[in-house]
Amino acid sequence: MSLPRRLVPLLAAITVPLVTTLTVGLAAAPAHAAATTYTALGDSYASGTGTREYYPDSGSCQRSRHSYPVLDAARLGATLTFPACAGATTSSVLSGQLGSLNSATNYVTVQAGGNDIGWSSVIVQCALPWPTTCWSQIDSAENTIRNTLPGRLDQLYSRIRSLAPNARVAVVGYPRLFNGEECNIIARISPGEQAELNAAANLLATTIAARAAAHGFAFVDARGPFTGHAVCDDVEWLNGTSNPIGESYHPNRAGHVGYAGIVEPALRAAARKS
């Protein structure tokens, strides 16, 4: 059925404004922002070993909801990809943890190098009863830090930047563990050995910091913030000799809160510089 001719102009006058309004409304609708993404790479210090509670599906990787990556993902409002795994070396991070990185990745933290120098084995040797000592093991670890670790870190950091060219990357360091006191009866580490272990931790920190800077990454130095919170301090952020033994000499839950407090601003500062 056709409309009377006198109604056609009237309908046209009504229809055009409606269509125009609808089009403008669609054009003005805000686009949904892409989700912020954060990938946490590394070893047991990153996964949360030492916090004594782990995701059931993380197995021997010991990923914890109390770890600094989980805490900082919430602070940043980011979706966390969490491949960090206890026992990881720079090589295993390189070969097994980088699969989620891409050009849309916003934040990356990486904490690796301690297992490359056999740090856990050195601590175990130092903790054996007198007259056993660990001087040669400390010397060996320091030689690895000087001569082998820099190249491994360069390879890892280069690959991270290649896969995630737009990410804000923070390299997270390790603390000094000891304050010179002997408070663990089961594992006696002498004040002299503690001082040398702390010196090795200093060497590890400065080496990692230098390689991070060479790649344009932020470095999160844990040594200052953990001072006063070492093993045997009144407020420990680090476990001493523990049961199970794998919890030993790792950050506890308070330590991960401490880590979260220095990692988050480093990532935000990296964002401002990018």
- Residues with active-site annotation: 44, 250
- Cα-flanking dihedrals φ and ψ of residue 87, to 5°? 90, -5
Distance CA 218, CA 99 (A): 22
DSSP 44-63: HHHHTTTSS---GGGGGG--
Residues 116, 119, 121, 122, CA torsion sign: positive
Instruction: Label residues 236-257 b or e (16+ Cβ within 10 Å = b).
Output: bbbbbbbeeebbbbbbbbebbe
Residue 51 has which token pair?
């916090």
| Residues 6+ away with beta carbon under 8 Å from 117 | 141, 144, 145, 149, 204
CA angle 99, 102, 107 (to 5 degrees): 95
| Residues 6+ away with beta carbon under 8 Å from 30 | none
